[in-house]
Structure 1
Amino acid sequence: MIYKKRTMPNELKGLLSLDKRLPNNHIKKPEVKKNLLICQAGYNGELELDAHINEFKPNYRHAILHDLYLQQDGAYFQIDSLLITPSSITIIEVKNYKDKTVIKANPTQFIRVFQNGDRKPMRNPYTEIDLKIHLLKSWLGTRGIQIPIDGLLTFTHTNELAIKHPSPEIKTIFTYEAPAHFRSLPVNEHILDGHAIHNLANTMIEHHKDYNPFPLADRYDINPSDILPGVICSNCDRPGMKWGREKWNCPSCGHTSKTEHHQTVQDWFMLIKPKMTNSDFRYFTQLNNRNVARGLLAKSGLQLIGERKAAHYVLMKEGKSPTPVE
């Protein structure tokens, strides 16, 4: 049973917005584009794994959680997917590389070989998985749970995979092989019964904390004034919607909407700063009327803090987690 579904990562949401609002000639544009493509590829790979995992339907109680962030020993660690069975837990790491991947030993190295023959060393995913296994064991130990934890490294693309020294502890497969691998897992000793699996999955969800990389202007050292303001039309993706007759109107395609500013507000919090004043709202939406701005802000699902000149708005759920172990 899937207890936690995967949603689009906050970083990807932010990069999509930043890419739209950063001028093409901006010095940070190539870096933003590059990270956007990497983040999008990673998310697509995880979605493909999810589709294959849906084929896994055992006759015993189990739990699957996607995109889990937990904290242990002062560190946040991210798990692409997690499988809990009565006998064990499997941490699944997903890699979405289109190029040939070579895994060598002594020391263990992961090397991407591009079509032009260039070679690029990568971070060792086995080490990443080992660390997550260690942190998860510690997290479970504080809750009195002792159960074997395995790691599984999956590759989305069925490109050439040259494994010259497979890890004896961490199996490496393609994502389409995941259901067969899960079916092959021995379920002998029932360390966790159905009730315990259910409670553990819910406890993990309660302790999950979404990774918050915002505001991206700070992260990429971008002057907020370089980020283009304006309400972007959801129909034609062009900025410059105007407020009139109690709705937003797109001069480019004619699309109208009463709530088009909601995404603009989200863009502000993702890109600029964690609070917004009436003046900020009017600048970022290019709206002149202070009273109209107050009314729209009141219907934007934000929390009002302070009064008069000190008044500002924040997101209902605010918080920033440390950078996770990825």
Structure 2
Amino acid sequence: MVISKTSTILETSPDNLQIFQKLIYAESLLDKIQELEGKYSKPRITKKTLTQLSDTLLTEHSIEIPDVLQKYNLSHSDILPGVQCPNCNKFEMEYISASWRCSICKFTAKKAHLPAINDYFLIVNQSITRRQLAKFLKMEPMKARNILHTIKLPSTGIKRGAKYFLPKNCIFSPHDENSMEKGGFFT
């Protein structure tokens, strides 16, 4: 255990002095690390084993997605469909010529749909069909197909039976649409 505050005073019974072998003040930490490196110079784990362990941890890591509707006692009808304008926050964006345009403030953005798709995956369901996306974003199904093709979501099935999923441990970044490549994801 490392104690960062030098004014800390520890008192113990005379028969409990071994506690001081497990405690160290922060100012002595580097000296203790050097002492341990000298004492244990031979690695206990091989680089190959360390790499395997690292790969396993990364593979097995998953983000828990809570059931928001149940947690907050909401129903699907409580969720507003559509694409929210990043400028005026109204759900009045229309997909026109590969871009989203707000019918209220006239703001345009190419990737305004990404936060809505995140919301769908996090709140409504962990998979989506082309028809569900079209209904949720309030757009034509063929345009929804183009969006799904553009963002390159993993899928199962073909044509009308296809279901799309958000890649494991991944969300879309709504913050800087200029820094994201076509079909790219931020994790």
TM-score (norm 1): 0.37
Given the superposition, is the C-alpha separation of residues 255 and 197 from structure 1 closer, same or farther in structure 2, using an over 3 Å criterion? Answer: farther
Query: Quick check: 1:276–1:312 contact (8 Å CA) kept in 2?
Result: yes
**In angstroms, what is the RMSD of aligned CA positions?**
3.7
Q: 2:157 aligns with which of 306, 309, 313?
A: 306
Q: Does 1:223 align with 2:48?
A: no
Number of the residue aligned with 2:88: 236
- What residue ranges of structure 1 are gaps of 5+ in the alignment? 1-149, 153-167, 172-179, 320-326
In 2: Cα distance, 1:192 partner to 1:307 partner: 57
Q: 2:128 aligns with which of 276, 290, 307?
A: 276
In 1: Cα distance, 2:112 partner to 2:124 partner: 19
TM-score (norm 2): 0.61
In 2: Cα distance, 1:229 partner to 1:219 partner: 20
Query: Quick check: 2:62–2:168 contact (8 Å CA) kept in 1?
Result: no
In 1: Cα distance, 2:52 partner to 2:41 partner: 14
In 2: Cα distance, 1:206 partner to 1:194 partner: 20
In 1: Cα distance, 2:43 partner to 2:104 partner: 56
Higher helix share: 2
In 1: Cα distance, 2:103 partner to 2:36 partner: 66
In 2: Cα distance, 1:207 partner to 1:216 partner: 27
Q: Secondary structure at the match of 1:299?
A: helix
Residue 28 of structure 2 aligns with an amino acid whose one-letter code is S
Q: Secondary structure at the match of 1:248?
A: strand
Q: Secondary structure at the match of 2:90?
A: coil
Identical counterparts, % of pairs = 23
Number of the residue aligned with 1:213: 65
In 1: Cα distance, 2:95 partner to 2:41 partner: 57
Higher strand share: 1
1:272 deviation in Å? 0.7
Matches within 5 A, 1:168-187: 181=26, 183-185=27-29, 186-187=32-33
Q: Secondary structure at the match of 1:271?
A: helix
1:295 deviation in Å? 0.6
Higher relative contact order (CA 8 A, sep 6+): 1
Number of the residue aligned with 1:316: 167
Higher Cα Rg: structure 1 or 2? 2
In 2: Cα distance, 1:193 partner to 1:252 partner: 67
